[in-house]
Amino acid sequence: MNPVLYDFKRGILRLSVVVAITLFILAGAGLAYMTIQTMVGTKVPYIELVAMSTLDIETGVLDLEGIVFDISTMKELGGVFEYRFTVTNISGFKVGAQPVVVWSTRDSVRFSGKLNISKNLGSLIKYNSSEYLYSLQYNITTYLGLKSGEIHYERSNVNRSIYCSTSGSYSFHVLGSVETSGAGIFGKASLMFIKFSNSTIKVVIALCTPLAKDSFELYVGEVKTARPQQAFYITTKPPSLDELKNYTLVGTVTNGVNILDVPQNFSKVTQIAFVLIQPSKTLYVQGVVPVMQRIGTTAMYVVFSLLGQADVFTRFFPILMLYLAYVYIAKPRSQGALEFVLARPVTRLELYLTRLFAGILVVVVASALFYLVAIATIATIMGIVFESYTYIMMYLGIAVSLMAFYSLCYALSAALKGGRYLAVSIFVYIFFTVIIQIIISIVAIFAVKPGPNFVENITKLSYQMAYFSPLGFNEFSKYFTMKYYETKYGVGFTPPGVEDIANPVLVGVSAIAWIVIPALLGWLVFRKANLSS
């Protein structure tokens, strides 16, 4: 085997390298676990419950049917649904006073996909009057985060012992035609019109009409007059056939949860007028609902959590780079082992470059494994797949930073032996991870004037200093990732005032300089260094 390739192979297959790569893999799994745990305990705005529920106070049977889903992808979620059902006496209630709970029960269920609850609470007929309020408070825990809310039950005109409710963004009473069923409330309906980044719109409807067997038809139309972005009723009487001609039929809706596609020609509207009506025109709802334009995705929140949690691990990875440079050059040099290597047909330049590139290869592989394990774990458990730009920037952030720090440590190992190298390189590690932050704080105290822009100025100073650190590219990669989502979804995620500092060209030149210049300086020292012990 070629002596250069042989030395390169020995450099890669060292026990220290295997240990380093193993630690990166374990760190990747740990990063995924910490990210998932963080998301599980976070209230994410993209988790939604749409449900219908009925309560028969004579039999005490509580039924609930619904779906918990990621509103940015419409993916149904699983998890734990904890709830507390209460009966509250509201007679004589005063503002600021605590309502009196006269009866309550707690329970929890695990669910996957559809959420179905049927529980016998026992007869509640003695509370069947307007003095009592029935409500269900819930907390939902999913692997994407938390969702909490409350459902209030209302008595139906159809059957005085049956109460019903729906859960969703905008709720309406299902009304009855005076001519056919008598005026009054005959149930509830909740609607959500959700617009996605590809301009498609879906409507999610929860319908609860006790004892109404007929299905409903959903019609949608454009709002002719400009109104505030809020839901409201259009009329208190069912629309005529002539009025329905101005609407577009979307589909059929039945009791429970329904998901329908809205025609593409509504993709640019901000409000949608709707009619939900039985073919017999007996029961109906007519109103206007704003279209919910979701900003970002759940994956975006997972990315931000991942980047934040990654700092716990990436802060210690440079120690492994420090150690690799030690076992490749500093240690064998102090033992005189490099002279034995050069006794073979291997030049100093070949020795220097093979071990330099062996360490860089370890960085490339270890960084890839670190994020691959983390991302694969998240994808398996959470079902979240990131965009390719996110993968690339996260990987480059850690890989380029570690290459730069390894190049710096490698240059030090070419100039210093054994113990001296360890002492200096450890100081360098502490300087770039701890001391530089202290310097920023000191400069901020004396150079940055207190005022409304104080925090912004400190942040700008921190990014300016990142150019002077081999580990600074990782900070810029996180900034560019946040900037990507900010540009895509039109919402500010990046710290203010940094855009002029984080110049992509300068960041790239700085990263290349931190990798190349220390390696060149190290070679200038190594080619004339005394390699004997």
In the chain, the amino acid numbered 300 is M
- Strand duo 162-167 + 47-56: pairing: antiparallel
The pLDDT of residue 180 is above 50: no
**What's the pLDDT band for 184 if we cut at 50, 70, 90?**
low
Q: Is the pLDDT of residue 231 over 60?
A: no
- Model pTM score: 0.74
| Count of all residues that appear for the chain in the document | 533
Instruction: Select the more confidently predicted residue: 340 or 368.
Output: 368
Taking each helix axis as running N to C, give the angle between helix 298-314 and helix 472-489, from 0 to 180 degrees, rounded to the nearest 10: 170
Tell whether the model's pLDDT for residue 116 goes beyond 80: yes
Span 2-61, pLDDT tens digits: 655 665 666 666 777 788 788 888 888 888 888 877 777 666 667 888 999 988 888 889
d(CA 14, CA 19): 9
Residue 415 has pLDDT above 50, yes or no: yes
pLDDT band at 71 (very low <50, low <70, confident <90, very high): confident
pLDDT of residue 197: 67
Q: Encode pLDDT of 286-322 as tens digits.
A: 888 888 876 667 778 788 888 888 887 788 889 888 9
Rounded to whole angstroms, the Cα distance separating 167 from 151 reads 7
- 131, amino acid identity: E
Task: Reduce the DSSP state of residue 285 to 3 states and report it.
Answer: strand
Query: What DSSP character marks residue 239?
Result: P
Instruction: Say whether 394 sits in a helix, a strand or coil.
Output: helix
Helix axes 454-466 and 436-447, enclosed angle (nearest 10): 140
> Is-contact 189 276, C-beta < 8 A?
yes
Residue type, 313: F
Query: How many Cα atoms occupy the beta-carbon half-sphere of 142 within 13 Å?
Result: 29
Percent of the chain at pLDDT exceeding 90 = 20
Give yes or no for a contact between 210 and 162, defined as CB atoms under 8 angstroms apart: yes
Two structure tokens written together for 316: 């210690």
Q: Do residues 193 and 258 lie in contact, with contact meaning Cβ atoms separated by under 8 Å?
A: no
Ranking 28-42, 354-368, 422-436, 477-491 by mean pLDDT, the lowest is: 28-42
- The whole-chain average pLDDT of the chain stands at 82
The full DSSP string for 417-456 is -HHHHHHHHHHHHHIIIIIHHHHHHHHHHHHSPPSTTHHH
pLDDT average, residue stretch 474-496: 82
pLDDT for 236 equals 59
At 178 the pLDDT is 45
Is the pLDDT higher at 235 or at 118? Answer: 118
pLDDT band at 452 (very low <50, low <70, confident <90, very high): low
Residues 6+ apart with CB under 8 A from 181: 282, 283
Select the more confidently predicted residue: 149 or 157: 149
Q: Which two tokens stand for residue 338?
A: 């490099």
Which residues does residue 263 pair with via DSSP β-bridges, in sequence order?
Answer: none
Burial class (CB in 10 A: 0-12, 13-18, 19+), 321: buried
| Mean pLDDT lowest among 144-148, 485-489, 516-520 | 485-489
pLDDT at position 522 = 92
